[in-house]
Amino acid sequence: MVITKIPWIISIRFVSGLGSHELAAAALSTTLCNVTGLSFSVGLSAALTTLTGQAKGELCSRFKNRDSESATTTPISVEPLTPLIFLFRGLIIQLAIVIPIGVWWLFGTERMLLALGQEHEVASMTDRYLKILAPGLWSYSVSWTLTAWVQAINSGGENLAIIPAKAAVLGLVFHVPFNWFFVNYMNMGYLGCAVATVCFQTIQPAYILYRLFGTKSARARVLVAMGVLDGTGISWKQELHLAVSSFQGFIQYGSLALPGIVVISEWWASEISIFLSGRLEPFPEVALGAMTIYQSINTFCFMFPVAFSVSASTRVANLLGRGFPIEAKFAGKNSIACAACASFGIGFALMIIPHGFFPALFAPNERDVTKETSKTIPLLAAYVFADGVQVAINGIVKGTGRQWVTVPIVLIAYWVVGVPLAYYLAFVRNDGTLCEDSYFCGVRGLVFGMTIGTWIHMILLAIAVWFTTDWHNEAVKAKHRVRSH
């Protein structure tokens, strides 16, 4: 997961050497890309994680018990592969959402940015950058859907989760030369970073698709990972027909995906804080650049506990699908403990390492930007601990399929407390100006508000999961959910 974010950091590093306006435009484009595009892909995949993980567990359970079934029972070999049904349905829903969004980007967003108070030059540069990113949104959605699906079926001897990781490494290897080629050799300037980003986003799904389904041996590995042990082949036609023809299946998927989008609005809140930083005076481009670098460091730190969240959702879903609630509960607790330890270690490292070290890696020639960013590092140390723990707990939520539990928590934490507090500190209490010596104004005011929101998120989510999860009932619900595909 960490590797998938490095190309974005590389692009920011290339752009930062071109000037503050270029950095501001790329940062704003990335924010809009995340809020209006990529976040939808991530949010929608919450349903795929739940359904595929539980379907894989249920399928394993059926194969384990097939010898005790009566002779009149339908042979498993001719039954549809439910994890594959959910993959096809997930891809259809993803593309139905993100294709219109990409078309909107192509038609332009400059007027909207001007209406929201952005400088004319930055708005125009952002519009051109975002148009180039549109094809990358579509390929990213396919890649993310495949990754979520592979992670959900990844347990046992077949380590398919390594495939998205290898795809990310492949994209990373090519990303630096792509940036150099388009930015310097082709003289495309900051727009070259957008082209390079689309290239690495296209490489990843192509590689994943080939490694999963491109050869007979690859398809055999996928079958084993899904829990199919009798030599059944992938029929495609039966699963695709069921994926598109079941209205109830789309309703089921949507009931899990919609709260996933609300939950991912935490991401929107973080990106909105970046957008707001571009309105801080007297140097909005410095504030925007500083907030962008802060968020880039934050995202990189976040990817470490995300690994434990993926583990939690996969193990919990698989075990509930197999009918093992006690084991599922233990797996969830173990993931939270690991995420807490990792997040504490990261936060401690941020505190003891000179605060200007990491910002200087992104923009060594922009001293004002790195100085402003360095002031946010102590707050970031507190932020990453709460964020790491809550994402692990959220993995349990996805594994159980209780996404609706998190909706009011996220709304309260970020949209009632976090964002309003950040806005108040930066723009009401201090009139939207940068400051030197306080945590309650300017860029640090925005970060402080979001940090409080994240801690509220962690505390409320922990209380909700600890006191309201009936693990035995969740195992029963998982069986019913999979069989009503």
Give the pLDDT confidence of 206-246 residue by residue, as tens digits.
999 999 998 888 888 888 888 776 555 666 788 888 889 88
What mean pLDDT is predicted for residues 311-328?
92
Tell me how far the alpha carbon of residue 2 is from its chain's centroid: 11
pLDDT tens-digit readout, 370-406: 888 999 999 999 999 999 999 999 999 999 999 999 9
pLDDT tens-digit readout, 61-104: 666 665 455 444 444 445 778 889 999 999 999 999 999 999 99
Give the pair of three-digit tokens for residue 403: 């996404």
pLDDT of residue 149: 93
pLDDT of residue 222: 86
pLDDT tens-digit readout, 278-287: 888 888 888 8
Q: At which residue do the structure tokens 């670098």 appear?
A: 293
**pLDDT-based confidence at residue 158 (cuts at 50, 70, 90):** low
Burial of 229 by CB count in 10 Å (0-12 exposed, 13-18 middle, 19+ buried)? Answer: middle
Phi first, then psi, for residue 89 (nearest 5°) are: -65, -40
Give domain limits for the chain: 2-483
Q: Residue 337 above 90 pLDDT?
A: yes
Question: Model pTM?
Answer: 0.83
Q: Residue 146 above 80 pLDDT?
A: yes
Burial of 326 by CB count in 10 Å (0-12 exposed, 13-18 middle, 19+ buried)? Answer: exposed
Q: Is 433 helix (H, G, I), strand (E, B) or coil?
A: strand
**pLDDT-based confidence at residue 417 (cuts at 50, 70, 90):** very high
pLDDT tens-digit readout, 13-59: 788 777 778 878 887 888 888 888 988 998 898 899 999 989 888 77
Q: At which residue do the structure tokens 């605060």 appear?
A: 355
CA neighbor of 200 nearest in space, from 449, 373, 11:
11
Q: Measured between alpha carbons, how far is residue 14 from residues 189, 357, 389, 391, 420 in Å?
A: 9, 18, 32, 30, 33
CA neighbor of 296 nearest in space, from 271, 261, 277:
271
Q: Is 397 helix (H, G, I), strand (E, B) or coil?
A: helix
